[in-house]
Amino acid sequence: MYTANPSRYSTMRYNRLGKSGLKLSALSLGLWHNFGDVDSIHNMKALITKAFDLGITHFDLANNYGPPPGSAEKNFGRILKEELSAYRDELIISTKAGYTMWEGPYGDFGSRKYLLSSLDQSLKRLGLDYVDIFYHHRPDPDTPIEESMLALDSAVRQGKALYVGLSNYNKAQTKAAYAILRELKTPFVIHQPSYSILNRWIEKDGLKDYAHDIGIGLIAFSPLAQGMLTSRYLTGIPEDSRAGRGVSPFLTRNQITQEQLAVIAKLNDIAAQRGQSLAQMALSWVLREGGVASVLIGASKVSQLEENIRCLDNTAFSAEELKAIDQAVAGK
Ligand SMILES: NC(=O)c1ccc[n+]([C@@H]2O[C@H](COP(=O)([O-])OP(=O)(O)OC[C@H]3O[C@@H](n4cnc5c(N)ncnc54)[C@H](OP(=O)(O)O)[C@@H]3O)[C@@H](O)[C@H]2O)c1
């Protein structure tokens, strides 16, 4: 049985989610990839326990993570039981529903029927009585937003989630959802959008400022652009990488273009001048100025966690560095 590193809380930063009472570790670990039944349970255990030893308290899941869908929750549930059961109250465990999970009209999007049955299934796979955060994974254009929000509220009232969150909602959609959740006094504390040096839609859309204005926290997913903002692809496409393994339709070999590599090489030089690896700089950039509470990373190797955590050594940027990063992204 695993025993946690006694000094795990001494080096990590814990940021409050907006105006709520809940703090998250500045780095969170996501189980979208590398935790399915196709992956090694030995490596999964090593990743989870190393993350916890480094002070990461927040683990992010969804009903459909795997493959096959559901297997990441099942494997995490096993690791919790076998290694981390003594630490449940030191962990924030999130799950979501919103993408296709089972066949027929009730296994997708945002109906009350889908969200609440999916949460029950997730709790069974995880072996838990409750999750800390339950998210609606994406907006549903066809279900009234009141119905989806009331389902999130019910999850809390039923004791199956402590807090709720939204993911992939833009500012206008978040505003509509917030009006309902505020009236219901639902503990809506977090929003999970994508955000990185290469993907800044939350700035343009106004979501980043809006989240701050209404006092909820942001957690940025894919802050490393799925590995592009690391040394992974600087000298080719390794066979064991996400793009090389062909495991994701969202990061294929074709996306690693010469133009993209030229941008990444420039960003790598700027990182080196700051005394950071590219991965560290990419995470520091998202955490700069405190506008984002936590960066939600993925990892396939323990060494990646060890490298990434050290982004916290330098999250300040000079105006010149920020400008150089913007120019590199613009291909200048
Ligand atoms: N809400 C949503 O719709 C949504 C969508 C996507 C993701 N998410 C959440 O966000 C989490 C993170 O997403 P992501 O995995 O795309 O995040 P990411 O942190 O941008 O990419 C993680 C990948 O980058 C590579 N990597 C990480 N650190 C590295 C390092 N130091 N050096 C070299 N390569 C490194 C690894 O890929 P290799 O396999 O190549 O080693 C790793 O799996 C997910 O697990 C999930 O919880 C949510």
Ligand 1 and 227: CB distance under 6 A: yes
CA torsion through residues 16, 94, 96, 289, sign: positive
- Residue 279 CB less than 6 A away from ligand 1: yes
pLDDT range class, residue 1, cuts 50, 70, 90: confident
Task: Tell which residue, 259, 167, 285, 253, has the closest CA to residue 218.
Answer: 167
pLDDT given at position 6 = 97
* Domain assignment of residue 254, yes or no: no
- pLDDT mean over 130-147: 98
Residue 59 lies in a domain: yes
Q: Is the CB of 225 under 6 A from ligand 1?
A: yes
Residue 247: what pLDDT? 87
Is the shortest distance between the CB of 299 and ligand 1 below 6 Å? Answer: yes
What is the rounded average pLDDT for all residues in the chain? 97
| Residue 233 resides in a domain | no
The confidence score (pLDDT) of residue 332 equals 85
Q: Which atom of ligand 1 is nearest to 303's Cα? A: 31
98 pLDDT more than 90 = yes
pLDDT of residue 4 exceeding 90: yes
**Are the C-beta atoms of 207 and 170 separated by less than 8 Å?**
yes
Q: What is the mean pLDDT of residues 108-136?
A: 98
Percent with pLDDT over 70 in the chain? 100
| Number of structural domains in the chain | 1
DSSP designation for 130: -
Question: Which ligand 1 atom sits nearest the alpha carbon of residue 192?
Answer: 1
- List pLDDT tens digits, range 211-252: 999 999 999 999 999 999 999 999 999 999 999 998 888 999
Tell me the average pLDDT across 95-108: 98
| pLDDT band, residue 275 (cuts 50/70/90) | very high
What is the per-residue pLDDT for 213?
98
Q: Is position 249 within any domain?
A: no
Q: Residue 121 and residue 126: Cα distance in Å, rounded?
A: 9
Q: Based on the number of CB atoms within 10 Å of its own CB, is 271 exposed (0-12), middle (13-18) or buried (19 or more)?
A: buried
Contact 86, 52 (CB under 8 A): no
Q: How far is the CA of 197 from the centre of ligand 1 (A)?
A: 14
Range of the domain at 25: 14-227+278-312
Do 306 and 277 form a contact (C-beta atoms < 8 A)? no
Q: Is residue 190 part of a domain?
A: yes
The string of pLDDT tens digits covering residues 41-74 is 999 999 999 999 999 999 999 999 999 999 999 9
| 322 within some domain | no
Domain of residue 46, CATH code: 3.20.20.100
Minimal-distance CA residue to ligand 1 atom 48: 221
In a domain, 267, yes or no: no
